[in-house]
């Protein structure tokens, strides 16, 4: 039985490892990790019971899959033995903005290479990960991928050119939602509520509406209309959103993020 090796043991690797163990997809004994010069890898290993590797050779010994989870800028300065030592492995990269083409140079002898973009709700198993593979995946590698990304929540395979749009929507999207939550909280205070109450109402309203949206198989416009009586309270609020160009602003926000993602991809 082969292992999954994590190179980089920070927030993203921890979310994946903890999800794999929580979902009982991989036992701790079949997961290994290694970090840089800090203490993240030893902390992750002692917290979860996975194996702590002291060298790259130790990390990949017995591994079938290598998850590359350090910062994108670490790739250029990574140990040059990474290329030969990753020969024959399924390499899964979570490095933001690193294209398959560049990854194929860094891991030239990998069995296959997967570029992925997780998002921060993955830390609690509620993430959305977009991914693409260099070559068509065999059933065993597809199953491994489903387990690794399933540890973070849901995932979707996309053609690589669409990953910048994915990044702008689902990668950055949590930040837009957090910004909306902050705006709703501030507006609640402006409407006369105590800050603590405003915070609770903002969070719970977003949570409840999102859960309702996910629960029902109907579009958001229909759900919106169910809350809105003609010339009623919600209609007054929505009219203001429309007058101030809310949808156009969200569109510009996503397109700007997509353009920046394209600029930064290498």
How far is 196 from 34, CA to CA, in rounded Å?
42
CB of 43 to ligand NAP, least distance (A): 9
CB of 27 to ligand NAP, least distance (A): 22
The answer to the question of residue 7 lying near ligand NAP (CB under 6 A) is yes
Residue-wise DSSP of 87-132: TT-EEEE--TT--HHHHHHHTTT-SEEEEEE--GGGGGT-EEEEEE
Which of 61, 72, 137, 184 contacts ligand NAP by CB under 6 A?
Answer: 72
How far is 92 from 69, CA to CA, in rounded Å?
9
How far is 76 from 189, CA to CA, in rounded Å?
48
**Contact window for ligand NAP (CB under 6 A) among 38-46, 182-190, 229-237, 242-250:** 38-46
Q: Which of 106, 111, 4 has the alpha carbon at shortest distance from 48?
A: 4
The answer to the question of residue 70 lying near ligand NAP (CB under 6 A) is yes
Both tokens assigned to 27: 């036992």
Q: Which residue, 85 or 94, is less far from ligand NAP as judged by CB? A: 94
Which of 17, 20, 26, 35 contacts ligand NAP by CB under 6 A?
Answer: 35
The site map against ligand NAP for 112-131 (x = CB under 6 A) is -----xxxx-----------
Which of 20, 32, 45, 69 contacts ligand NAP by CB under 6 A?
Answer: 69
How far is 174 from 227, CA to CA, in rounded Å?
24
Q: Which residue, 201 or 254, is less far from ligand NAP as judged by CB? A: 254
How far is 139 from 60, CA to CA, in rounded Å?
22
**Which residue has 């993020």 as its token pair?**
257
Q: Which residue, 38 or 220, is less far from ligand NAP as judged by CB? A: 38
| Count of C-beta atoms within a 10 Å radius of residue 1 | 8
Question: Which residues of the chain form contacts with ligand NAP (CB under 6 A)?
Answer: 7-13, 35-38, 40-41, 69-72, 74, 78, 94-96, 117-120
């Amino acid at each position: 039985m082969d292992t999954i090796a994590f190179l980089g043991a920070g927030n993203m690797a921890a979310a994946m490892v903890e999800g794999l163990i929580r979902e009982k997809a991989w036992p701790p004994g079949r997961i290994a990790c290694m970090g840089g010069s800090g203490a993240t890898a030893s902390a992750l290993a002692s917290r979860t019971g996975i194996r702590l590797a002291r060298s790259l050779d130790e990390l990949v010994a017995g591994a079938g899959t290598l998850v590359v989870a350090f910062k994108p800028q670490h790739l250029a300065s990574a140990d040059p033995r990474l290329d030969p030592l990753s020969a024959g492995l399924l390499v899964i990269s979570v490095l933001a903005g690193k294209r398959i083409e560049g990854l194929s140079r860094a891991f030239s002898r990998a069995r296959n290479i997967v570029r992925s973009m997780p998002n921060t709700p993955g830390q609690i198993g509620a993430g959305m990960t977009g991914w693409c593979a260099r070559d068509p995946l065999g059933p065993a590698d597809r199953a491994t991928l489903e387990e690794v990304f399933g540890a973070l929540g849901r995932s979707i395979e996309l053609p690589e050119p669409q990953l910048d749009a994915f990044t702008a929507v689902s990668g950055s999207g949590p930040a837009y939602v957090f910004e909306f939550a902050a705006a709703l909280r501030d507006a609640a205070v402006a409407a006369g509520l105590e800050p603590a109450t405003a915070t609770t109402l903002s969070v719970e309203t977003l949570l409840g509406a999102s859960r309702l949206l996910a629960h029902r198989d109907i579009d958001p416009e229909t759900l919106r209309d169910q809350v809105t009586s003609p010339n009623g309270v919600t209609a007054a609020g929505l009219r203001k959103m429309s007058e101030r160009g809310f949808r156009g602003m969200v569109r510009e926000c996503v397109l700007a993020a997509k353009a920046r993602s394209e600029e930064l991809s290498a």
